Structure 1
Amino acid sequence: MFIDIPSELEAALVDLPLPPWRMDDSFLATSTMERYRTDLTATPQFEETAATLRHALTGEGGGYAVLRLGNLAKELGTDNDRFLRIATSFAAEVAVPFSPFPRWPLWKDIGVKADKDPGRSSGIGYNAFHMDLVNATLPPDFTTLLCVRPDPLGGGPSILSDAHAAAARLPENCRALLTESAYHYGTFFDLFGVGEEYKPFPILDGSNLGKGFVRFSAKMLERSKLCPEHAEAARELADELVRGQVSFMLQPGDYLVVNQHRFLHGREALHSGQETVPIADRRLLLQLFLRAKADDGPAM
């Protein structure tokens, strides 16, 4: 779902002097969230826009949204702290912003490195469907990506797929294999606020379709040692995710928010020739994670 910002709200946000945020350990401080909410609720149509965003993420049939902040990005500049505070304030309307990586700031850069593993988020190749921090007992409830610059050569559309709908299309014996704790992927160190390492883990949290995480990363098919039966079940899920995918190109200022309880995400390959693009002109996203508020319950 794409959500445009009403012109009256855009005009108010351009002139709104939101203060710098404060952190409580790796989480956005409650005092900052309260101040942002107080300031923003005084602007026209903010509450209606925030409600539309929340419904798109957690309402019936929802699971992701793209907030169109492009006009604000043009007016303020994507490298302006005021613009990033506006994006943070919208994120705080959904859940609590936090950084699971103590060595990184609240917003983490995802640039393009032509010499890195092509399948990684900073690589140039196809980034297959996955859930962020798949091997944590408490993965982020939401993952978000703010587009600063798209690929200037025209590649790299974002891809998303309804993970529960994909699992529902699988035969029962396949789903049964996916509920077994037989899967593992990735490393686990120097993390905050995401629980403990989960290894091995089930892809499906239980037999009740539509509930819980779908703990999947297509990279496990190539980089983890799985028995043939469990590997084949995961491949069938991967095929269904691709079959049901949606794709779109993020534009400057577009803010993608994904409910990890419902959708998996990825990215098509960037256009060939990235090594000819100056680093300062390459695709750049900023990533922020969100933890559901305790009184909101699961982000289902």
Structure 2
Amino acid sequence: MTQRFANPPLVELVAEIRWGEAASAKEGGGNIPFAILGDAFDKHASAVTSALSAIGYGNSERLIPHGFPVPSGVPIVRFTYAGGDDKAGSDQLSSTVLQLGSGLFTVNAVQPYKSWADFSPIVEKGITQLLSTQRGAVSGYTLTLRYVDAFKKELTGDLSHEEFLSEVLGIKISLPDAFGEHATSAKVAIPVIQIVVPLELGQLQMQLADGKIESEPVYLMEIVVHYERQVAPDVAAIMDAFSQGRKIVHDLFLKLTIPLHERMKPIEEAR
């Protein structure tokens, strides 16, 4: 089943590749290496800036000033669409951000995100330009695909977070009777829950949380596919790997959110 929605909960989609030391950096690790970047990064960043300008992403912004210590695997330069590529929809181009770090490259989509079919050509173009600028030999890349959804009241109604987890997503939490012997109420709060599932590709992580976006209460759902094996420095191989991960997330999202499909207003296209 291929489908997208006129009122989707998606707030961000990130296709990320890492190489070198950044490829081995784990999220949430206790020791994050810092470095003062030298001429090598600046020369590469200049080459990437020129390459991305050629596909319309000519606006660049340095996120970390020159001379400052930089954590491994964080964005340092951000690129946004400046015009010049009319082959893709202007909404999709203007809502896509490309980022470069030391051993890191990401393509981020925010609203108005349309579909993977519209977004993936931008990912492919960005990666093509990146690979054309690589100064040293890179044996492979570590990939991550991340979806962040925010379910607002228009989708969840008056459901509590616990009711949303159980009645919509089908995730039910059962506590031992020992808790009841001491609790003053039967109501249990579940502000955050994390689920990790092994995949043939690597690992799927889902985190669900009761949160806020711009002061508006939302129920957050982050689905991340971490690829276990490095992918060859080949654009087709990288895009094929991203496509496989996207299919898994797409299938999981559609099945988990069946009770909300009517409110999300389904239309025929790929998510």
TM class, shorter-chain normalised? under 0.3
More strand by share: 2
TM-score, normalising length: structure 2:
0.26
Which of these two proteins has the greater Rg computed from alpha carbons? 2
TM-score, normalising length: structure 1:
0.24
